[in-house]
Amino acid sequence: MGAASSFANNCDNTISLFISFPEQNFHIDQLQTKINNINYSFIDSNLTKKSIMENSVFYVNNNIKFIIENISKFIICISNNTFFSITQNMEFNSIFNNNEKNELLDKKIIYLILDKELLPFNNSNSKCIIGEANWYPFYDNLTATLSIDFIIKYFINEN
């Protein structure tokens, strides 16, 4: 089954989290493992990237919109590569421009900052993207560990 088929199959009600990142790294792997360990279902940018390789960008963009309409929580990783990532830009477009019914108000977005120089109080580009939303540092072992612990506790307490 290709990535295009995976889009449709991953849109059922069991998927409640989308993780957007410009590139996979060790800390994102740790986060995904911890989320899996609490049986919280998610999909991530790897599905988008795989589908782009197999299908047209138009087709993928429409499917991302479909998925995002059905997901209520997002973890968005911001790094220096975010501003140049076609994948993340497509995902952002779907998350933030899918506001025909004002559905963004019902979505929980957590930002993880992967590069220290992009912390919102130091960087106007990050501040513009994040606005008043929750964000957590995620740029080294300590900040990643603390942020992962907070996110896992949030998901556990939510249930």
* Residues 115-139 pLDDT 10s: 999 999 989 988 988 988 899 999 9
On whether the CB atoms of residues 52 and 29 are closer than 8 A, the answer is no
Within the chain, which residues score under 70 in pLDDT? 1-13, 57-59, 97-106, 159
pTM score:
0.83
Burial class (CB in 10 A: 0-12, 13-18, 19+), 19: buried
Percentage of the chain exceeding pLDDT 70: 82
Q: What span, in angstroms and rounded, lies between the C-alpha atoms of 36 and 53?
A: 26
State the residue for tokens 């800390």. Answer: 27
Tell me how far the alpha carbon of residue 100 is from its chain's centroid.
20
* Orientation of helix 26-37 relative to helix 141-158, angle to 10°: 20
Fold of 3-158: Rossmann fold (3.40.50)
